[in-house]
Structures are given as structure tokens and as C-alpha cells.
Structure 1
């Protein structure tokens, strides 16, 4: 059986979208076909789940460093692991900068694939970043992309040959886990929401996600739908500022951090999902895709997404939801009012969204594509 070495800084118990994507790819590969070499979690993550590595169905080799960099030491250890474990392919959890290890591993392995997630587009606008991406593209067999936005941005930095080898690889959605009727009523009862219309936002609380835009838009929404509730699910460094901005109103609620196994029920507690993300710092801080929109669609909710980076790739405009300018509150308010005041139309969008995700965003399709990339013939020049 062929064996893949995954080299990554983005891996649980550290939380995040990239971490979840890489972990799911590893977890869903055939038994005995995967080995992970990754950085050490910080103290808080290690304390929260001290036995995470032992529960995995594959070996996890932790480096002592909190961040893996393509240094000679890391390169030597990666080569030693690949040789000792008989790995014939390498998957980089994020292309930059660890993809720079590819040249040194080339004599040992047949295939090398570098994942991108959206933040790599920032490398295209910082000094020296494009040259790093170009070197990586020349030495790996494939650089993946989430959607058309990331493909277009990354192509600017890659050679024509490397750009021609790019392939789309996006996370899948577990439509059995994220589905209508998966526990939303219980969440509503626990939070005392009754049958009030609920706009839910499930996300890490950072400025890019646009939770503050929702709060600024909320008075306009309440003027049209007075009994509506805005429910924020999650935590992050922006949380204190958001709580302060919403102080004094009963119609804005915060759950704080929620265990992963309870997230589907919190989506299901909503009538509309909204996260009006926006691009910041002239493109350095941008949404790569936005899996939360697809998880909400799988749960049967219409979505309101911000027009940042690849987020529009996760929405079919006026079919599964709406894409708005998340930098100002007006467009978000108008989209929410339309959906809340026309529940039949909103419900139909939710049906369309679940059908779309079930057909186009499955893990089976993602894994089939990954198999083709790891098992394909040849190697990069």
C-alpha cells in the first residue's frame, strides 16, 4: 500500500478551518496509508485535549517546535521519517512555507501535493512572497486551490507550467452530521428563544468575519422584524469588543465556545445564517472559502455571505442565499430583512442549498480527487 506523509502546522487539537480540513483528509484515508508530522500545540490546546494524538487511527509525530519552518533540521527529520516509514508521497497541509521542503524530499518520494486555503493569496502581495510560491510550485507536483478566486490569485505567482498543474481540492461537508432537524429545537429551548426568528452566525470571532457588521445592521432589522434574535456561536479575540457593542439589547445573544459535536444543532437553531465577511489590509486578510456557509446550507438554511475572497464560491446567488458587501451594514440588513419577512422563500433557498451541497461538496468527491493527486504518475520537473 502506498503511504502518505502529511507535513503541517495546522492540525488539531488546535482549532480552525485549516486544521479541520487537514485532519479530515488524514482521518478519511485508508487505514495504514497516512502518517502525520506536525508542530506541537500550545499549552492551552494540549491541556484541552491531552490524549488527542493517541485517539487517531494513524501515527502522529510531533516536533518540539510550536511552528514548523523549512529549516535544515526540519528537512532532515522529514526525510528520516519518510524513509523510515516507507512514504512514497507527501501532502503539505499548507503550501507556504513548508512546500519549500519539497526539493529535498524529491529523491525519496514519487508525488508531492501542496494544499492552499486562501491565506496564501496574501503571499502574492508581500515582498518575496511570490518568489516563495513560485519555488514551491516548481518543485511539487500539484498546488491545489479552493475555488476560482484562490486559483486566479495564486496563478499570478506560479510559473505557467506549475499553474497548468493546479487542481481544485476543497473540504467536503458531512451531510449526515449537518442536516435539518439535528437538534435545533433543543438549543432554542435551552437558550429561551421559543419560535422567534433567529439569525445565526457560527464563526471564530475575528474582525474579518464581519460580526460587527451584523451588530451595526441589527437595529434596521429589528425595525422590520421586532421579535428577531441574532445568535453568535463561537469565541475569539474579537469577542469582548462584540459583546460591548451589543450591550443592552436582549435580541443579541452569545453562546461562547461550543463543542464541535454541538455545532450542527446550533446551525439548526437558526432560520437564516449570516457571516458578512470582508477583505482587510489590501488583500492580506481575506476569506479563503467559508465552510460555514456550506455547513449552514447542508442544515437547510439560506445564507448571507460577505463578498470577500472565495466566500462567493460557497453561495449560489439568489438560489442558496445572497452575497453582500460586508464592509457596511446596509446590504446585510436588507438581505436579512428580505429573508426573515419571506420565510417560504427562505425555506426554499435552504432546500436548494442542501441539494447543492449534497451533490457538489461531498467528502467522497474530495477524497476521490485527492487519491488522483497522490497516486498520479510522474513528478514535477
Structure 2
């Protein structure tokens, strides 16, 4: 068996769920059987990261790889030199358009991952034909869950849709677990002994941190000493901070900014409840593909309150591991959060069931096995 060439724009040290998805899949392949060809992040030197990987990482100096003739020639050259007989596109759109062009270099099997943005392509008149071409040229297009499968299948030919297979990210159970260091996070932010709702995500409108803030005065009316811990950075941060001031809730809200990846489990563990009421925007173009944060929170033993955007409900067992709410309305968010905060025993039991569910169905090992079968 030859090696697998992973072609991707989404790869660490860039932070993000897709980046972690692709990286974890690569790490779980035999080291001698992986070559990564990717872009270079802006304002980050990836050299030290790349040298620590058990496989070669080849980067273009551009911050975005596009399916151009030059990129295709480089990918073909890498495939020939390293004996790659399979290829994995970290995101199907748009790089999957190069699939047929790799086959003369000895690539016999091509798999393309999809995420939330391909579901957006599926409803854009200009992008649907490109997605259809990608489906025709690859051997398998993956999907995260029922929502993304249904959206993508409508844009593909029947033959391509019949070759779709589920491949979702997993959770590192050795990193995300109850007791992963939350106490020192509580001490850092001065919230020891208080009920804590934690939200871990990039600060962008789709994630719904603004809905959480609008719900927070209602939460405080029932649980006066509660704290909202908003973990992450992003372009929405300044607006969210201003909203916190205008609502008069600054004393009970903590913004951490971006935190190192190694500290994320402890930040989850600092919470009693996890909430991220994401919502679909821009007519369905800006949509949640799955929401790995809900699964990481469940693995850490927290009940979750999730928004109803896209595939987010696939990461929650309604009423068992958490609740799904309309991410546009603060009222339902507040009611679910209050219910969990006021009944800590029931919340802990819900978190225990969430951990057990992740252990059964959402491990990286099971994701890696699926990828091996597809390749």
C-alpha cells in the first residue's frame, strides 16, 4: 500500500475545528504513509510545528491554496516523488476540483471531506455545478451528519450521492474529561464557588454569543451569582464587550480571549453548563456543520445547550446529553440554562450520559478506522 497525500488549506498551527479534524486524522495514519501539502498561515511561522510532526509537511508560501494549474503540478510532483496512491482533500470545495488531475501521478483513490461551507455551496446557483463536478471526480465525498448529507446530496449526481460516506471528527478522551483542570481556570478569573456557564468558540455572529448575553439578565434573575465564561477570540469580540456593558452585566461575564489549544480542556472543565446557541445566517450560507465543541463539552462531563443551526443537533441527544434551542431567541436559551443551573444533580447526570455517549460513538480511533476503509 502506498502513501496518502493530504491536500488542505485547513491545518495547524492555524486554529479551528476543521484544522484539528484534518490534523488528528493525519496523526492516526501510519507516519510513513502520510504526506501533507498545505498553505502557510498569515502572521504565523509554522516551522517548529511542522518539524514536530511524524510525517512531512510541504507548504506553499501562499495563505490559500486554490485549484490552479501550478498547485496541481506541485501536487502531482509530490504524489510521484512520495509514492502516494491515494489523496485526501481536507475540504472538498474548492480543492477537490483537482481530483482527476492527480490520477496520472498514480493516485488511484480520492476522498474529499466536507464541512459546513460545502453545505452552503450546495444552495448557491454558481457553486452547485462546481460541487457537482467535485462529486463526479472524487471516489468518495464524506459528510458530518444527516443535515449535511441531505444538503449535499441535492447538489450531487445520483451516482456521486450514492458514494457518500459519513466521516465525523472525534474527541480526544485523554484530553477532554471531567477534572481536566477547571479549578485553576476558576481561580484565574476569580469565579471559584460560583455557577459557571462556559461557551468555547470563535467570536463570530453565527456562534450566538450575543444571544447568550441577551439571555443573561434573565439567568441572573434566577441565579444571581452565575458567571458566563466566554472562551475564544474573533472579530465579534469588541461588539460583544460593548453589549455586555450596555446590558449592565460586566461583573458576571468573563472574556478570556484566545487561549492555547492545550488549555481548552481546563476551560471546559471550569463550567457547570456548556452553551453555544449557534444560528444559521445569510440564507443558509453561514451554517454550523456539526459543532465539535458540544462533543468536547460532553466528554468533559457537561450538559450542553446547543443552537439549531445546520448539523449542530447531530452533536446532542435531546433531553439526554443536552438541549437544542432556537439560537435567535434569548428566552429559550435562558430557560434551559436556568433549569440546568438550578438542578446541579440532574445537570451532572446529563453530563455523565454525554461522556458515555462520546466514549461509544465519537472517538478519533473510530474516525481513523472509517478513513482507512475509505482510502
Band the TM-score falls in, shorter-chain normalisation: over 0.9
Of the three residues 72, 80, 83, the one matched with 1:83 is: 80
Q: Calculate the aligned-residue CA RMSD, in Å.
A: 0.9
Q: Which residue in 2 is equivalent to 1:161? A: 159
CA–CA separation in structure 2 for the residues paired with 1:185 and 1:138: 51
Q: Which residue in 2 is equivalent to 1:134? A: 132
Query: 91-100 or 20-29, which moves further after superposition?
Result: 20-29
Q: Which runs of 4+ in 1 moved over 3 A?
A: none
Matched ranges for 1:20-59 at <5 A: 20-42=20-42, 44-46=43-45, 50-59=47-56
Cα deviations across residues 354-379 of structure 1 (Å, max 9, x unaligned)?
000000001111001000000xxxxx
Cα deviations across residues 296-337 of structure 1 (Å, max 9, x unaligned)?
000000000000000000000000000000111111011101
CA–CA separation in structure 1 for the residues paired with 2:227 and 2:47: 37
1:95 maps to 2:92: yes
CA–CA separation in structure 2 for the residues paired with 1:281 and 1:128: 16
Give aligned pairs, total. Answer: 371
1:362 maps to 2:363: yes
Q: Which residue in 1 is equivalent to 2:345? A: 344
CA–CA separation in structure 1 for the residues paired with 2:229 and 2:56: 39
User: Structure 1 residue 63: deviation in Å?
Assistant: 1.1
Cα deviations across residues 28-49 of structure 1 (Å, max 9, x unaligned)?
211201001111211x222xx5
Length-normalised TM-score, structure 1: 0.96
User: Structure 1 residue 56: deviation in Å?
Assistant: 1.1
Matched ranges for 1:169-180 at <5 A: 169-180=167-178
Could you say what secondary structure the match of 1:273 adopts? Answer: strand
Q: Which residue in 1 is equivalent to 2:101? A: 104
CA–CA separation in structure 2 for the residues paired with 1:355 and 1:45: 37
Of the three residues 211, 214, 227, the one matched with 2:212 is: 214
Could you say what secondary structure the match of 2:23 adopts? Answer: helix
Could you say what secondary structure the match of 2:72 adopts? Answer: helix
CA–CA separation in structure 1 for the residues paired with 2:80 and 2:102: 10
Could you say what secondary structure the match of 2:228 adopts? Answer: strand
User: Structure 1 residue 50: deviation in Å?
Assistant: 4.4
1:122 maps to 2:120: yes
Gaps of 5+ in 2: none
Q: Which residue in 2 is equivalent to 1:188? A: 186
Could you say what secondary structure the match of 1:99 adopts? Answer: helix
Q: Which residue in 2 is equivalent to 1:18? A: 18
Could you say what secondary structure the match of 1:70 adopts? Answer: coil
Length-normalised TM-score, structure 2: 0.97
User: Structure 1 residue 64: deviation in Å?
Assistant: 2.2
CA–CA separation in structure 2 for the residues paired with 1:112 and 1:50: 28
CA–CA separation in structure 2 for the residues paired with 1:300 and 1:103: 45
Q: Which residue in 1 is equivalent to 2:150? A: 152
Gaps of 5+ in 1: 375-381
Cα deviations across residues 208-244 of structure 1 (Å, max 9, x unaligned)?
0000000000000000111100001111110111111
CA–CA separation in structure 1 for the residues paired with 2:31 and 2:200: 32
CA–CA separation in structure 2 for the residues paired with 1:313 and 1:181: 26
